[in-house]
Amino acid sequence: MYIANNPISQEYDGLIIELRKLNTLIDRENGYFIQVFLGKDKIAFAAPPLQLNGTTLVEFKSLFAKLGYQVSYDATTKSINGMKNGQKITLKVGSKSAVVNGKTITLSQIPFIGNGITMVPLRFVAEASGLEVSWNAFNRNILIASKEEQILHTVAKNVEYSNQYHLEGYMNTYHEDYPKYDQLYDTASVLFTDYEFYTTLDSADIVSSTASEVTVRVVQTIRFAPNNDYKDYRTDGLITLKKDGGGMWAVIAEGTPNITPL
């Protein structure tokens, strides 16, 4: 939503003006309300993140600092340098070329300056630091974290949304190619509407991992309200996750769990 005379909106307008100078097309509302997290910590930026043609750009100082880089800026060459544990990242305002430890890489979008704030492609910087980046279109959140943290985040959100009876959020943790996705949606809709229950995530352990798929052993305890017909029970089973289009690990398959009445 665009709100006139809102300071954040005005800051965003300044960035849009700079982008027009660069002949870049942008959806005016596309960058609003994007939140970026490093693990569980939300990153505070001097200007709101924005998206251009599928690439998220953020204010560079806050991002580099949060990732632990020492930053320097050469006003003459308009070069941004980040140093961390012997690694050097260099980006240049107005250039699609970046350098990581001497290796030149082509960026998806050029860094630029708007209202005195330098914006850089988030995914490039975060992945250069060795972390994964996932975009969640459902809540417009970006998570920067290790592969293991990304996976366990999805498992935890699945349980969290279930306890909130949040159907759309719950289904968002499942991959669009999940078999019988529509059937799962209908089943969850009935459960969330007709039953009172609470799920505790007892443990989640990665048991196998490849570049494209991960298997996690999940143990959960489900307890029902006294007025429900169901009895409490514990499940112990395997789920498989696969990255979706935004880089988020999502559930693609679930094995039949062992069920223990309580």
Nearest to 220 by CA among 206, 200, 238: 200
Domain map (residue ranges) of the chain: 7-133, 166-261
pTM of the model: 0.85
Tokens at 135, concatenated? 């975009």
At residue 131, φ and ψ (nearest 5 deg) are -105, 165
Task: Tell me the three state secondary structure of residue 104.
Answer: strand
Tens-binned pLDDT, residue by residue, of the chain (262 aa): 334 444 445 555 555 555 555 444 444 444 457 899 999 999 999 888 988 888 999 999 999 999 999 999 898 999 999 999 999 999 999 999 999 999 999 999 999 988 888 999 999 999 999 999 999 988 999 999 999 999 999 999 999 999 999 999 999 999 999 999 999 999 999 999 999 999 999 999 999 999 999 999 999 999 998 877 788 999 999 999 999 999 999 999 999 999 999 9
Q: Give residue 159's identity as a one-letter amino acid code.
A: V
Architecture category of domain 166-261 in CATH:
Roll (3.10)
161 and 173 in contact (C-beta within 8 Å)? yes
C-alpha of 172 from chain center:
12
Superfamily of domain 7-133: Copper amine oxidase-like, N-terminal domain (3.30.457.10)
List b or e across 36-45, with b for residues whose CB sees 16 or more CB atoms inside 10 angstroms: bbbeeeebeb
Classify strands 141-145 and 35-38 as parallel, antiparallel or unpaired.
parallel
Maximum Cα–Cα distance for the chain, whole Å?
Answer: 72
